[in-house]
Structure 1
């Protein structure tokens, strides 16, 4: 197990941090696709396609090909969701990390460093709702595959929790997606409570069952 330290982000981390973020998000495409294949409505869609082409063409081969195309289409939908999300973030908060995270009150960005390499990352922001002054939102947590299983993700989570505690916040909140099984299992082991589950608002996301999980970690309030 390699040793690591957690420190504030610096400019020389830019390219690697963006790469880790993009790779970490995109790797969930296959898991999300497999999750969709367990949904009755997705199979109902496949069945309708198969029966429709079977009736129109009378060809089993054509019907099977149409079914294969449908399955590929569902996979591409998942890929589009993740790729679009990554591009949006790279053009938004991940475009100028110091300006977005290090030069604003209530924001911060850390990396884990091991043997001179970036071994993980995490950020904190004020939530975009009426409890922003009482909560901290954990964002952008990602650890490359080669560094997983070493407690780095837990340490990064604790960094955000400690940040929130120092600010006198009442809770740390976060959102993740259902296919990110390792992530939400980690959060639950650390004491985060799942507060609600909901579909992403886009119609396509609802069709393929893209589920968002909302978690909260309560902090003791000192009066």
Structure 2
């Protein structure tokens, strides 16, 4: 028997929900940074910076410092990318969850609770780019609570919600760095319908790829 239950969000949940959301959004940052340094073009950039500094100054020490600066910039930009998105969400739909989800038609926001602690969150809202589709959003389960079926149960909550309200499909978007989430969606029967790069130079440079999934209800 599961030691948790899933219920609708309450205003008293906000602080725990916000913390879970931010931790979940920023969690892929190390994977993103490792991926950045697996790209040949990044190493070409580092080599070019080293050689340019060496030719310009004639100092290997200055050249190594220049390389370290490039690495630090890439590190900080990777980090900023995730935290910028988290701040943007906290200033928009996550600012007032009741207003943006519970008081809007076709939307919902649920939490998984265990022993008085929030151990997972998920939301649903009409997908703006599809006809009669609902988007699974804000799914997050803290690391220490994984392996208990929480992610699966939260996803099925949205699927049941979509079936109840007559949606034709559940869709979601996830980044390539969320390996655990991708495996979960595939196990549940979601199929990949597309991939795309965000329209931002740095995101394209580090090959940040978003994956679109769909679960058909018909």
Q: TM-score, normalised by structure 1?
A: 0.94
Cα distance in 1 between the residues matched to 2:130 and 2:177:
29
Give the equivalent residue in structure 2 for 1:123: 123
Inter-partner Cα distance in structure 2 for 1:197 and 1:71:
28
Q: CA deviation at 1:118?
A: 0.1
Inter-partner Cα distance in structure 1 for 2:137 and 2:125: 7
> Aligned to 1:179, what secondary structure does the other structure show?
coil
Q: Distance in 1 between matches of 2:51 and 2:102?
A: 56
Distance 2:70 2:24 in 1: 26
The equivalences for 1:134-213 within 5 A come to 134-213=132-211
What's the TM-score, normalizing by structure 2?
0.96
| Aligned equivalents of 1:165, 1:121: Cα separation in 2 | 19
d(CA) in 2 for partners of 1:218 and 1:47? 48
Give how far 1:207 is off: 1.2
Farther-moved stretch of structure 1 (108-117 vs 55-64): 55-64
Contact 1:2 1:114 in 2 (8 A): no
Partner of 2:112: 112
**Structure 1: 5+ residue stretches without partners:** none
In 2, distance between residues paired with 1:160 and 1:58? Answer: 61
Distance of 1:2 and 1:110 partners within structure 2: 17
How far is 1:198 from its partner?
1.3
Kept in 2, the 8 Å contact 1:136–1:169? The answer is yes
Aligned to 1:18: 18
- The runs of 4+ residues in structure 1 deviating greater than 6 Å are none
Q: Deviations over 1:49-70 (max 9, x none)?
A: 1111121122222212211211
- The number of residue pairs the alignment matches comes to 218
Once the 2 structures are TM-superposed, how far is the Cα of residue 114 of structure 1 from its aligned partner? Answer: 0.6
Indicate the residue corresponding to 2:217 in structure 1: 219
> RMSD over aligned Cα, in angstroms?
1.2
C-alpha deviation, 1:130, in angstroms:
4.7
**Residue aligned with 1:105, SS:** coil
